[in-house]
Chain A
Amino acid sequence: MARSLVGMRIREQRRALNMRQADLAHRVGISPSYMNLIERNKRGIAGGLLRRIGEELGLSIEVLTGTAEQRLETDLIDLARDPERGDPAMDPATAGEFIGRFPGWARALARMGRRERAARAEAAALSDRLTHDPFLSQAVHAMLTDIAALRSTADILTDVPDIGRQDRDRFQGNISALAERLAETGSALAGYFDETDTPADRQSGIDMLEDFISTGDAHFAFAEQLGARLAPDIRARTASDSPDDALLQSSAGRKWGRARAHIQKLYLAELQLPETDAGDHASAAAHHPAITGLLLDRAADAALAPMDRFRHLLDQANWDLPALCRAYDGEIGLVFRRLLALPGYRFGYLHTDASGHTRSRLGALDQLPRHYDAACPLWAIHRARIKPFQPIFQRVQFPEGIERIFIAMADPDTAESHQISADPANMPDQFLSRVVNSDRPRPVGATCQLCAHADCPQRREPPVVDLAVSSLQSG
């Protein structure tokens, strides 16, 4: 959808400005026939060309690429593919058309889908908590034991008519003591729920995070500016080995970790509440720990790899990502996240820890598994850990026929893996030339449940999608 909407938006804005297609093509330095292909969605567009067209049309890249609408489409595709909420007749490929024709309905449906998913996750988390939380387990056991004693004692007083006075007084005293103890346990339990984060808080953080990625442009821009402003000071401090340096007192060992710790220590409030956006919805969300972490990441990235310098090195290295990582002291995550922030491109980014658990998913979220889903085991990100610091390139095709390029690299020290996914139609030739093109794209899925590839050797569980229908759609 990204490509089709970009072409459509270019055409609509050009017409609104009464500009001829050939004139726009001339101004941005391409042929009219190529501009025609772009507007008719036959060619992808990214990078400098997208930026130039945006400047000529007076539209930002974010408006042209429709970041918010891409999020909306991702949500609807998630909904269509979900085995419990979706329906086999919902074709993910028509999500873009649905948004175009019924934007209000589409937004409402996506909102309901997100809330329902959050509610299900909350219920599952509560269930887990009731089962495994040691305090709750002990408190519930104590309450049941006291209730058992209370019931048994009360029944004695009721059912034994000839009970002696001494026994009666003793059991009545027991009832009083048990009631008092039950009240104390109940109060402690209520206090415990009040004092701790509820699972709802934690779960809604995932959706809040993704909402913020879509809507928090001003905050990211501020974090970028802050990082760039601090860059000279940060570089000087991270280069220093002086034990008096405040940065070295942080627990993080590497430059990036030290830079992030420094910004967190001195500039956190500034990041959370930039003066330009005080009081808006995104500013409130910026205080959420997950979002604060994201903004700190961005500021640290910008401090150690200011975008102009990064872009220059990227061109100089001819998109050779390992060379770029070496230039940035082996900070793979830093390089991959800077690619994600590169204006004019639309990457998806996945970051997993040493156990393969997803730590973050940013950028183009389509085709990426939800946090609580297990990703397809065929993806490059899992293979990268076998060969740390070596780039693993993969051309992949999803069951719907969508092609992507994956580049993954693993950190040799932490065994964390990073993966960028890119739409080949939007990537420059220098980048594509590094991908082995002779091979056919490897069939992959998002998760096993939603994947229609019947003969996959890595399948963990049977698919819930209709293999025949999916094959027809992909064929």
Chain B
Amino acid sequence: MFIRVVYESFRRQRRRKLLAGVAIALGVSVATAMIAVATDIGDKINRELRTYGANLVVTPDADTLDVEIGGVNLKPAGDGAFLREADLPNIKGMFWQHNVVAFAPTLSANTTVEGKPVTVLGTYFDKDLTYGAEHFRTGVPQVYPFWKVSGAWPKDDASEVLLGQKLASEIGKRVGDTIQLAGRDAKIVGVLTSGTAEESQVVAPLAIAQQLLGREGVVKKVFVSALTTPENDFARRDPATMSPEMRDRWYCTPYANSIALQLTEAIPHSHAEQIRQVAQNEGTVLDKIRGLMLLVTFAALLASALAVSAAMATAIFERRREVGLMKALGAGNFSVATFFFTEAALLAIIGGAIGYVAGNLMAQQIGQWVFQSRIAIQPVLFPIVIGLAVFVTFAGSAASIRKAMRFDPVMVLRGDA
């Protein structure tokens, strides 16, 4: 009998149920989309923040002091210790390998071009590397997305170079010209604008710099661009003083410091350090943006909860005649309440499921539109939003149901209430 009442109620009052269902579905879709975007935005913005360039740098452990002013090295280039190029693929064997977006080694050598002393910076552009069975490509365009090249990027195995914008205008060379490097012709394939010291340098494949320096298979520094978690007090602690469990937790969180430690472990005789200007501020900016989206989501949730509650309250208030009729036929308060709550729960689950799907689509649209990538949606969100929908619908119905039951059935049925 109970099931029949509920069934008939849905069958006969389709318009009303549809309206309430649409309200719930809308509310849930907004909640789903907003929660999905807010939980994923940290990751997305983190990737955008990689525009700032490398946040970690690996240097030789036994290196001498840098003598560098304004990005110009004043020390003989062959001085000090080096890292081995062959160790670099180890970076992809680290625990946090997937957080490493890209890395690029650098090696400076001094030479003369067109009678002018210049620094040649050797690095990777789009180098194909192998670690175990895994292939990956990395290079300076990914590490420094703010480097702009007019022309093309050089190939790693060719005799092609980039000319810094300032140097190019000083020696009057353009794209397509050639310069003499290490006793052979090097073709200028692009002109670099970076806003840094590289603008008065030649940027060349690593092999050319190694030849100029006369040292095979070495690099001076490795710049690493990695996705990190904002630093907290725990991250700043010294892992050497931690208990084993705490150290594991520290090691297995992608803090800049723990990734630096792993880099030091991956490359022999090296020392990795976070570049604080990039690494520290990342956290600040990320926290603010995440906080903002979280608060906006909270406001959206509140608003859609109120809207759904209002819709439910209206829907039930309209049906006080039914309540009157049920009571006149001898139904107790308990059965009336059960009936309405069952109806509300059904509406919430159906509307919620539709809303969840719609919300997913909305989140994907936002992801495509803003970040040109998919938004990751946690499946655990489904029970959460359905639970929220049921709760909000109940809360919205409760007051109206109580009010409807307080009326005298006779008055309600006569239309006086």
**Chains A and B are bound partners:** no
